[in-house]
Structure 1
């Protein structure tokens, strides 16, 4: 099983995915939503680029400062409900980069306000469906919104993608678990407990004896 550090470090390996649907009722968000885009993915499949076309996210220049919560691999703690006021008052941003190219990406030079990591979640985007922590930009933003209590905003952003509902379906238990916490430490504790329980369940299944089929099961004939 991967360690907590592995999960948190991989967490913002933000792959990209999208569809081309456009909606014109963007009034739901009343705080800034932004991204630093390092152009490390296919622009035709980039969820962040699609949000930008829809005017649901603003691209930031490398030297441009963002005062709100920033989802970044350089974060020093997990996003949590404790960040709600910061996001509501100052906004939410994401760093759109590839973990594989992290060493060549000047993330440390970004002027971030409150750097945050995301806890363990499963990707639903078409490129990395089912993979832990391989979230697209919109999934990362929606996860943070959901965890701090802006669930309607999270669903609104995900609804812009044909696969968006799958992210909530895959992660409903985890997102509600994290949203019920209070601060970063309790989110990490909840994540650890969830992963430990999942590993124990998998180990129990592996340890179960492989019994041969009964006579009735193997005959395949009705009596």
Structure 2
């Protein structure tokens, strides 16, 4: 699975997880997305599921500020938009907040769900808090990677005691 990032450079460059992935050759920086990539979009209608690995050979994280995300994602990106199922942030800024993930957390969660567990760990290993993201979400990620239908997510969240606002 090829990892790409489209960076809008809206945050502190020293804290940019996408830039660090590019620096370590774990992701390729792109200036536009291609039609065959999965676009990680927190506002997408469909949730990423394991079988999505059959429709794309790359995944693209959109690196932008959470404060500007709503406007950023109104832009049209070529590709297959998918949102992640709920995951807890492990990064120090948004620790334990549902869905407030860094770009690397989003990509790592996505590739794990798609069946690339080793790649997920490799991506997270470049961050001293990367293991925290995995530890907070290990069971959820395992369960999400087995789901076949989006409708299976709410009962799973209920088992974990996670309450989520439905759009």
> Residue 74 of structure 1 contacts residue 108 of structure 1 at CA under 8 Å; is this kept in 2?
no
TM-score of the superposed pair, with normalisation by structure 2: 0.87
User: How big is the alpha-carbon RMSD for the aligned residues of Structure 1 and Structure 2?
Assistant: 2.0
Matches within 5 A, 1:79-158: 79-87=48-56, 90-105=57-72, 107-111=74-78, 113-158=79-124
Structure 1: state its 5+ residue gaps. Answer: 1-30, 201-223
Q: Deviations over 1:110-154 (max 9, x none)?
A: 22x211100010000111111110111111111111111111111
Give the Cα separation in 2 of the matches to 1:165 and 1:99. 22
Whole-Å Cα distance in 1 between the matches of residues 162 and 77 of structure 2? 37
Q: CA deviation at 1:32?
A: 2.3
Q: Deviations over 1:27-69 (max 9, x none)?
A: xxxx42111111121110011011111121122214x535211
Structure with more of its chain in helix, by fraction: 1
Determine the C-alpha separation between the residues in 2 that align with 1:141 and 1:108: 20
Residues 39 and 61, structure 2, Cα contact 8 Å, conserved in 1 = yes
Residues 5 and 28 of structure 2 are in contact (CA less than 8 Å); yes or no, is this contact kept in structure 1?
A: yes
Q: 2:38 aligns with which of 69, 78, 89?
A: 69
- State the 1:194 CA deviation: 3.1
C-alpha separation in 1, matches of 2:76 and 2:114:
27
1:77 and 1:134 map into 2 onto residues whose CA distance is 18
Report the Cα distance in structure 1 between the residues aligned to 2:153 and 2:76, rounded to whole angstroms: 29
Counterpart residue number, 1:45: 15
- Candidates 131, 155, 163, aligned match of 1:193: 155
Matching residue within 141, 152, 156 for 1:175 = 141
Kept in 2: contact 1:125–1:164 (CA 8 A): yes
Q: How many residues in Structure 1 have an aligned counterpart in Structure 2?
A: 162
